[in-house]
Amino acid sequence: MSAVAKTPASLRVFAVIGAAALLGLLLMPFGLGAQAAAKPPLVAAIQPHVLMVLMENTSYEQIVGNASMPFVNAQVAANGSVSTTDLSHPSLPNYLGLVSGSIQNNPPDTTPQDGTYAGPQFTDSLASAGIAWKAYMEDMPVACDLTDQFGPANYDVNHNPFMYFNSVRNNPAQCNRDVPYPQLTADLNAGTAPPFIWVSPNIINDMHNGTPAQGDAFLQGLVNQVKAS
């Protein structure tokens, strides 16, 4: 894995590819523009900007060298990647493990109404440290959606692990940080995007039901949007 640049204004991007198959972490350093440049170096060093994007069901071997994913492969060539095997199957325990360090007794793809977890999970630590975060969920209808839907459109609650933890679900201040994806554009335009950004695309753009080309196009649009902010 190539080292990520340690510049105060850098933004780390982690694209987790294949949540229910092989996890590949794509690391891309780049500046955050005026918003990051305006921060004192010490503050920026303490609170680096991180963008984590969750992709689905495609192995490392299916990504690297795939001609239909030119953007992702350009980032791999320029910045490197790491890979590890999945934690479990299907998707949900992998998402739970990613945010909490535990697959929580390896549940099937259930909804939070079938069972939630005490935690802790990592946004609890961010909140305790006073570091802002938001999770942007494509096609989720409203912020802090407690209806636990598969849908509308192509939203999948299994790809929204924060709704499974009581520290978020039962805390309005934290739950309202779990928002529909269009809010990201508003936050970037207003200069209010938090230091930690999580994005779960819908099941087309994350390649669960979509194609590698669709996933590549989504990532390119998202990363370029954040870089331009």
Per-residue pLDDT reduced to its tens digit, 121-153: 999 999 999 999 999 999 999 999 988 878 778
Please tell me the predicted confidence (pLDDT) of residue 151.
77
Q: What is the mean pLDDT of residues 155-160?
A: 94
Please tell me the predicted confidence (pLDDT) of residue 85.
60
Say yes or no to pLDDT of 200 above 50: yes
Please tell me the predicted confidence (pLDDT) of residue 59.
80
- Three-state DSSP at 117 gives strand
Dihedral sign (CA 81, 86, 89, 93): negative
The domain locations on the chain are: 10-228
Query: To the nearest 5 percent, what fractions of the chain are helix, strand and coil?
Result: 35, 20, 45
Q: What residue has token string 């529909």? A: 180
Q: List pLDDT tens digits, range 83-134.
A: 666 777 788 998 999 999 888 887 788 889 888 999 899 999 999 999 999 9
Please tell me the predicted confidence (pLDDT) of residue 132.
94
